[in-house]
Structures are given as C-alpha cells and as structure tokens.
Structure 1
Amino acid sequence: MEEAPLDRDAVLHWLKEELGRLAETASEQAALHAQLKEVARSVERLQSQGHPIPDDLRRLKLDLMMRLEDGEQAAAELKQWAEGLRPLLASIDAVLTEARKSGNGPKNKGGRKRKQKVPRTNQEVLREYLLAALRELGGSASCSRVKDHMRERLAGRFLPGDLMKRKTGEIVWENNTHWERNALVKEGILKKNSPRGIWELAEREDKT
C-alpha cells in the first residue's frame, strides 16, 4: 500500500511552532540569571546576619535554577535543530543548483555524524537538592535516604543524561551527587567525621 505524502504546510507549521517555543524558553535566560543573582544575594545577606532562610526563598531559588536548566536544554535543542537543518538546506540548495545547470538528480553527499552531548543536571542544582533533602530530613540521614528524597523531588525533572549508567554501573545523577557531597565536606558545609554512610550538615548549616 502506497504511503500518503506528507502535508508540507503542516510539517512547516509544526517546525515553526516548535522552534518558536524553544527560542522563547531560551530567551528567558538573561532575566532568570538576574533573578537568581538577586535571590542568591538575599540568601547570603540573611546567612551573614545569622537569620534563617525562609522556605519560600529556598523554593524560589530552586525553581529559578530548574528554569535555567530548561532554558539551557532548549538552547541545546535549538543548536541540534540548526546542525540538523543546515546540511539538509545546503543539500536542497545544491540539488536545485545542479538541476538548473544540467537537469541531473541530487547527489548523495555523505557526512560524519557529530556525537551529541547528552544533557544532564548540573552540579549546582544537585547541590541545592542535596542540601534541601538534608534540611527536610532533620540535618542528618543515610546517603540512600537522601538520594531517595532527591529522587522524589526531581521526578519529572531528570534530563536524559541523568538516568544513564556509567561503566561502573552507577546511575549518573547518583554518582554526581556523591561527588557533590564530597565537595560539600571539603567546604565544611557537611561534617567530615560522620558515621560511615551518614550525610550530616555541619553545625553552622544547622543554624540556617
């Protein structure tokens, strides 16, 4: 059975809508960065004055960071679209040029595919979710419980690269969370001498 031809206008309309949506999401980056900078300043000011950080302010910071992640993902998708469409448009132009010159059909031009980097949640976002989990769990919990808490909060927000496995068999986002925990210990935000398998906020973090 012969397949029905694609509706060119419908395809072009969908493509225009999709690219417009991605461009709009990516264009919000500057404003979101400015908002996040102001929120971060407010958090630092409250911490320096010894005041507790309101939960609403913490949630706003996390929301802004995740929206920035969405914007970065949209920008990456736009780049992928551009890289995919550019050779296609060039091929169409070459075919039309050749057809005008000699009437020959399109030439098959091979090309090596570029390996696309799979997007994943950045370390700063994982850090915020890790600290938020410990605060909500009373300042101390097993690493497995912390990751379970983070998994619940990040459900639906994981990026494709987060759920891939490393050669060791460990899930990428969990492995990156362990690295971030080590960084927090070095910075003195988490306790260094906690019992094995326990992640614990330092005293100065408990007071915030």
Structure 2
Amino acid sequence: MNNKINVREGVNIAFEMLEEEIGKIVNNLAKSIAEVSKKQDFERTKKLIDIAQRIKEYKNRLIAFKEEWRKIIGNEKAIITRIEISSQNGSSEAREQAPRELKQNNKTGMRTPEREFIIPILEALIELGGKGKVSEVLKLVFERMKNKLKTYDLEKIPAGEIRWRNTARWARKMMIQEGLLEPNSPNGIWEITDKGREYYLQHVEKLKSNNSVRRTSE
C-alpha cells in the first residue's frame, strides 16, 4: 500500500499557526487599548491603535498570500499536491525523506478547510430565509458538519473560540470576496446573495447529475 503525504499540509499548518498567533495578539491589544483609554492616556492609545491598524493590514496580506497559495496548488489532481512514498519495496530510506512533522500532521489531520463550509453556510442561510444571526447560522452549520469535523476542529484557538467556528468565519470572508454573501449586511448578520443562491443550485444539480451517473453505472 502506498503512503501518500499531502505536501500542502506543511504550508497550511504555517498559515494556521500564524493566524492563531495574530488572533492572540489582536485580542491582547484590544484589552490594552481599552485599559489605556480608561486612563485617558490619549498619546499611548493613539500608538496602540496605529499598531492595531498595521496588524490588520498585515493580516489582510496574509489572507491574500493564503489565497494565492491555494490557487497555485488548488488542482487536486496536480502531481505537486502529493508526494507518493512507496512502501512496496520496503525502503525505510524513502519513508525517511518525508518530514516527521508532515507525517504526524497527516496522521492526526488538521482543521477542516474553509471551502468545506461553503455549502453548509449557504444551506443554513437558505433555511433561515436568506439571512440570519451568526449564532443561528453556525448552529445549523454544525448540524451539517458535525460528522465531518475532526478533533482538531473542536479544540479552542488561543483567542478562546472553538476552531471550527473560527474557520466558518474565515469561510464567510472568502464567500464575501467571491460574491456569495452580502458584504454590507448588518453587524452580526450573515446574508446570502443571488450569486450565492445560484452557486448552491448549481451544486445541487451537480450532485443530482453525479448520483444519476452512479446509478446508471451500477
């Protein structure tokens, strides 16, 4: 049996660790700004806000880098997305070529990708009539995702939020960029767009078509 190691995981892990650390820094920075503001130390408050703005800009660049990486290795069938280590010849030398970190992460699995949340989020919003509070949306998303989520998804990130919920929020940002969700919906409300409904219907039709082909072949 061949042991396949997804080479994307190493980069994905790096992005995820960086995102979590930034989240932790932002959380601590927000507390510091609140404390300094209470003391009316306006000069220091201004400096902290400036730092927060620079971190926000860096975070946006990180998102862009992550999306660029995904485009580069987005084709699952591309040879570069996987390194195939054959164990048929019993070569321990070939197996040792794979970094231990990647072996371990491939074994335990990392977080569920943002794109896995697209259809569940769209379904949840359609069920809610097109828009809904974040808590309502995420509750329905969890019902659809609970059998797919990994143990890693159910752990807390440094900011205190459950990882899968954080991933769903990142998915929303991505969906807004792709025109599937409204960018200007009220605070705390997620809302589907016409393009989002069309995307979902195309997904449903594709599933029906695939199931039909499968039944025919059987």
TM-score (norm 1): 0.44
Larger radius of gyration: 1
Higher RCO structure (Cα 8 Å, ≥6 apart): 2
